[in-house]
Structure 1
Amino acid sequence: MANLICFDFDDTIVLDNTARQLFERFAAPGWRDLEARYRAGEFSVEQYNAAALDLVEADDATLRAFALETARLRPGFLELIDWATWNDWLPVVVSNGFDLYIDPVLDAHRLDRLVRHCGRTWFAYRWRVRYDSPRGVELQEGFKLAYARAFRDLGDFVVYIGDGASDIPAARLAPVVFARSTLREQLEDQHPRLYPFETFHDVIAVLEQEAPRWYASSSSTTPAEG
């Protein structure tokens, strides 16, 4: 059993949606039709991202450079990673975004050891992406939920931090949720430990006060009691 802090990336670790910025800059115009169909419920987020990435016309170096130029960390993120390290919490990134921008952004801040699960990309005439479950099975939907279930099944205590609709199913499985935007709106009055945040300094303040109590509570419950 581990204590995990599970982060979304776009609009959470970073202030903006890097994937959307990338599509706006480098994808053929058809990506906007794909986005509209995704918002209408025709595609999962994984299917939408794969289809939109197929329309991107730029090489790996260009995309990575663009990410480094545009992505801005949400204030307090590095401090929260330090807090987690010193307090025996494991930070993990679980994102529907792409490694081609998540990796360079995190690595640029010397976070190369930060565990990240995201879309794995490659270029073979066109850009491609694959979302694998914790068991290595390719997924067309439910990527974040698959990891949330795996963490739960291992007995991990998860603090989930996110903002969007794609975070909702995974966040529902977490004992503690820090939420912004759509995620906050959807879970308000539904989740017993839902905390709003705008910066990661807000998260640290709650963790400092509440984490010992959460840990004591989770430690007092064993699988045999269920």
Structure 2
Amino acid sequence: MPIALTPRPVPEIKHLGDVKTRSANKRKIICFSDFDGTIFMQDTGHVLFDNHGCGSKRREILDEQIKTGDRSFRDVSEEMWGSLNVPFEDGFEVMEKTLEIDPDFQSFHQYCIANNIPFNVISAGLKPILRRVLDTFLGEEASSHIDIVANDANISADGSEWKPIWRHDTELGHDKALSVQEARKEAELACDDGSIPLIVFIGDGVSDLPAAREADVLFARRGLRLEEYCTEHKIPYIPFDTFADIQREIEKIKEEDDKKTAGKGLPARFNPRANLWRRVSSKNAVPRYVVMSPTKEEKMFLWPEAFTELKTPSVETIEEAFPVGTVQG
């Protein structure tokens, strides 16, 4: 399903091709954000697994299997979700009591609506859960302005079966980078004046890098793993403590872009790598490109799936270039 490019009063996305820029002199800005640890301080899945599923100790073992590359993210996730045995409503009760929303997110979301800035959630989680959380904490009307790009799920009425319906047929289940690429392409096609939308991504962990690599502006929650990784590998980013910081920075970026470009052509902070990574992101291109640019940062941006790739002989060449499990996500 296409990703929405304009706020609208209903959650369905139907008329992407009719989207126009607000003004020829105003840059279209599109925000994408991680969910767990970014909008909410806790991980929705972890809350469920610890209280109604495999438990925290088993979950930690499974998380480690992902980090070491012994098992794929998708494989481990299916075990975690499959461990649940609780009706959806009962499971949501513990999430409602446990989850904490960023104190300034609601104000930021209203700012996005008022300024015609589409806000999309990109998550490796399950869409029905994320939608219910947003409906509860924001209210259904406000929540309807946020599109959720995530995996779907089949959840039995008695809660005995929780089965993810993966968005992509990969070992990650949801290729966040591909989702942002699709949105960027659709947004560019929708801008009939030839301008290029500014893509913003907001996250907290290294696992957000596949999507972050496609953004023009990256916000990383201060003090967490994404910021540490960006600092270590000299990846441009803007740190934030709450969404109020993001709102202030976006205002500055809007003013800067309007002054330098008048909202036309490429954004002042355009990320030329976004197109580069798309051109060389196929598996066949990896070995040749690694020789050209062997830095750890470029390896992570080039083919982030390799860092959670299941250890099999079929990926021997890639594992040699990208040591599996060297980056935690």
Residue-by-residue CA offset, 1:86-124 (whole Å, 9 max, x unaligned) = 112100011112234311210111233111112212135
Asked if 1:62 corresponds to 2:90, the answer is yes
> Does residue 1:129 correspond to 2:164, yes or no?
yes
SS at match of 1:12: coil
| Partner in structure 1 of residue 77 of structure 2 | 49
- CA distance in structure 2 between the partners assigned to 1:85 and 1:18 by the alignment: 25
Counterpart residue identity of residue 50, structure 2: E
Deviation of 1:143 after TM superposition, in Å, equals: 2.3
Which residue in the other structure is 2:200 paired with? Answer: 159
Equivalence for 1:174: 215
- Structure 2 distance, partners of 1:43, 1:198, is 33
Contact (CA 8 Å) 2:47, 2:94: kept in 1 or not?
no
Q: Does 1:185 align with 2:228?
A: yes
Percent identity reads 22
Q: 1:163 touches 1:183 (CA, 8 Å); kept in 2?
A: yes
Q: Number of residues paired by the alignment?
A: 218
Q: TM-score when scaled to structure 1?
A: 0.86
Provide the rounded CA distance (Å) in 2 between the counterparts of 1:214 and 1:22.
43
Partner of 2:123: 95
2-side partners of 1:96 and 1:203: how far apart?
Answer: 23
Greater shift in the superposed pair: 29-38 or 8-17: 29-38
Q: Is the CA contact (8 Å cut-off) linking 1:76 and 1:201 kept in structure 2?
A: yes
How far did residue 16 of structure 1 move? 1.4
Q: How does 1:1-226 map to 2 (within 5 A)?
A: 2-29=28-55, 30-108=58-136, 109-110=138-139, 111-113=142-144, 114-124=146-156, 125-133=160-168, 138-141=169-172, 142-154=174-186, 155=188, 156-180=197-221, 181-188=224-231, 190-192=234-236, 194-214=237-257, 217=261, 219-221=264-266
Code of the aligned partner of 2:31? I
1:83 partner amino acid? Y
Q: Which moved more, 1:152-161 or 1:7-16?
A: 152-161
RMSD: 2.3
What is the TM-score when the length of structure 2 is the normalising length? Answer: 0.61
TM-fit CA distance, 1:71? 1.4
Q: Is 1:168–1:186's contact at 8 Å kept on the other side of the alignment?
A: no
- Distance in 2 (CA, whole Å) between partners of 1:55 and 1:48 is 11
Cα distance in 2, alignment partners of residues 214 and 191 from structure 1: 21
What's the secondary structure of 2:143's corresponding residue? coil
Q: Which residue of 1 aligns with 2:319?
A: none
Residue 47 of structure 1, CA deviation: 3.5
The separation in 2 between residues aligned to 1:47 and 1:79, in whole angstroms, is 37
Cα contact 1:179–1:195 (8 A) shared by 2: yes
Q: Say which SS state the counterpart of residue 235 (structure 2) adopts.
A: coil
Q: Conserved in 1, the CA contact under 8 Å of 2:153 and 2:163?
A: yes
The amino acid across from 2:63 in the alignment is E
Q: Secondary structure, in 3 states, of the residue corresponding to 1:167? A: helix
Superposition deviation, residue 139 in structure 1:
4.1
- Per the alignment, in what secondary structure is the counterpart of residue 10 of structure 1? coil
Q: Distance in 2 between matches of 1:209 and 1:20?
A: 36
CA distance in 2, matches of 1:172, 1:187: 11
CA contact (8 A) 2:177 2:213 kept: no
